[in-house]
Amino acid sequence: MKAAHQGVPVANLPSGDAPSPLATIFGGRQATAQAEPARAQPSKKDDLDSWLIDKLFNLIENNFRSHRVLNFYAAKLTMSSDCLNKHVKRLTGVTAGQLIRQRVLTEAKRQLAFSNQPISEIAYDLAYADPSHFVRCFRRDTGVTPRTFREKAGRLI
């Protein structure tokens, strides 16, 4: 079984039930385990690929608030950032940098939907230099402002 990793685009998650309305807002499926089709003995390359992705997801989960630069993650995995991006793109369809940004965006959405914390505090909590930069990045990535997102999410909850 393979657990769905948070922040991976829906197209790259194991197939399963359609995403819930909240999962759609947050840009992914709810974390559910789905059985994969049986396959022959995994090769060492499969094991290495699986290890790399699992390790990267764990690193991102534990460090996304303080480290957004790809070189940090590449160094932790003892490879160059180009090599890391090549492997991650091949395995997930997106770059490692996109995975990091997606995790930050998912956390921003979570905080906007489930807390009454001011948008400026969320911006500082996610290590944005100032709230206006957070608003610009959020709008660029989602098409709506944080305030609009919060209002829409509030109606669904």
Give per-residue pLDDT as tens, 91-109: 999 999 999 999 999 999 9
Residues 6+ apart with CB under 8 A from 132: none
- Give the pLDDT band of residue 157 (cuts 50, 70, 90): low
> Does 151 fall in a domain?
yes
68-73: Cβ within 8 A, 24+ apart: 68/100, 68/101, 68/104, 68/127, 70/96, 70/97, 70/100, 73/100
* CATH code of residue 99: 1.10.10.60
Instruction: Tell me, rounded to whole angstroms, the distance of Cα 87 from its chain centroid.
Output: 17
Strands 2-3 and 33-34: antiparallel
Dist. CA 71–CA 84, nearest whole Å: 9
Dist. CA 18–CA 136, nearest whole Å: 30
Per-residue pLDDT, 27: 54
> Does 8 fall in a domain?
no
Give per-residue pLDDT as tens, 49-76: 889 999 999 999 999 999 999 999 999 9
Q: Which of 34-48, 64-78, 109-123 has the lowest mean pLDDT?
A: 34-48
Q: Which of 16-25, 63-72, 115-124, 141-150 has the lowest mean pLDDT?
A: 16-25
Has residue 144 got a pLDDT over 90? yes
Has residue 36 got a pLDDT over 70? no
> Does 24 fall in a domain?
no
> Does 18 fall in a domain?
no
Per-residue pLDDT, 44: 78
- Give the pLDDT band of residue 118 (cuts 50, 70, 90): very high
> Does 31 fall in a domain?
no
Dist. CA 33–CA 147, nearest whole Å: 33
Per-residue pLDDT, 116: 93
Number of domains in the chain: 1
Dist. CA 124–CA 121, nearest whole Å: 5
> Does 16 fall in a domain?
no
Domain region containing 81: 43-157
> Does 11 fall in a domain?
no
> Does 137 fall in a domain?
yes
Average pLDDT rounded to a whole number, residues 28-42 = 44
Q: Which of 5-9, 81-85, 109-113, 140-144 has the lowest mean pLDDT?
A: 5-9
Structure tokens at 93: 């369809």
